[in-house]
Amino acid sequence: MTPGEPLVLGIETSCDETGVGIVRGTTLLADAVASSVDEHARFGGVVPEIASRAHVAAMVPTLERACADAGVALADVDAVAVTAGPGLAGALLVGSSAAQALSWSLNKPLYGVNHLAAHVAVDRLEHGPLPQPAIALLVSGGHTSLLLVDDVTAEIEPLGSTLDDAAGEAFDKVARLLGLPFPGGPQVDRVAVGGDATAIRFPRGLTLPKDLVRHRHDFSFSGLKTSVARWVQARQEAGETIDVADVAASFQEAVVDVLVTKSLAACRDTGVDHLLIGGGVAANSRLRALAAQRCEAAGVALRVPRPGLCTDNGAMVAALGSAMVAAGVPPSPLGIAVDSSAPVTDVSVG
């Protein structure tokens, strides 16, 4: 390990993005991403086998691009970090195999890290050291979770999660219902700008008093998705014209209202005055705006990475790897096993 801040290479292949990031300490040097989203669009969702094959094809070119962008050689890195879970098993194996090969051939330490913890750690690249403790809201196509983060390299306590559809999954399903392309999140966000968010009062899942007793920090978006489908179906059967922008805006408002409301409730319940939002849905413009408005009113400091760092990328993996090196966390052994359902409490995976 060279003296000073470590130079860490991170590899991310948990879903359909092949990401390679390079950081020195908390400074981002490169963030190269190759996405296979266009190959999945005609199926309306990610196909695991296609994603895995795309990672194999993209790995070497993405590594080369990241090194060129950072102006470093692979031999210069001090450690290699890789997402080892959760995610699609086949996709994770591609990234893990590449990282282990690099670790062995370069004789550099390997860190198998948790994808969800990496979404928290990436904010170190945007706003510096993380507050301790902080409440983290992670929202993506596969996850919607509230976490109490004391130390992103070691201590993460789950407070709540989704009981059914994740927020990003609900965005994709409603987008398909409205005839919008995949992936649905950015499309709904785009269309909603021209709509009236108060046009339709869609339900806010798990916010009734009885729900807050048992599921105060949990989420549910399945009922909301069904409500939108029934609303659209009723208008279609009646021969009415559907204002897609209004439906998109009203649906989006229901989602972000619940996300922000429950996040601030977690801050109050734990006495923590810092909220961090991460994951792909954190790029949603309405979520960012509503969170900023309500956090300011509640006296809660809000941290949200720029949209490019919210979606899956190698920079977030490198950021967590760098934090683990600095904290003296022991590296992972070669031959680490990926864990497609790794809990967020396991920051080191495999």
User: Are the C-beta atoms of residues 36 and 332 closer than 8 Å to each other?
Assistant: no
pLDDT tens-place string over residues 36-60 = 988 988 888 899 999 999 999 999 9
Instruction: Give the containing element (helix H, strand E) for 286.
Output: helix 285-298
Residue 237, judged by CB atoms within 10 A of its CB (0-12, 13-18, 19+), counts as exposed
Provide mean pLDDT across the span 184-202. 97
pLDDT in tens, 212-251: 999 999 999 999 999 999 999 999 999 999 999 999 999 9
| One-letter amino acid of 15 | C
Q: At what angle do helices 48-70 and 89-106 cross, to 10 degrees?
A: 30
Closest among 73, 70, 80, 75 to 31, alpha carbons compared: 70
Answer yes or no: pTM beyond 0.75: yes
> How much is the mean pLDDT over the chain?
96
CA nearest 176: which of 278, 247, 274? 247
Whole-angstrom Cα distance, residue 291 to residue 264? 9
Taking 70 as the threshold, does the pLDDT of residue 2 lie above it?
no
- Domains along the sequence of the chain with CATH: 7-122+313-326 (3.30.420.40), 132-305 (3.30.420.40)
Tokens of 197: 């968010």
pLDDT at 120: 97
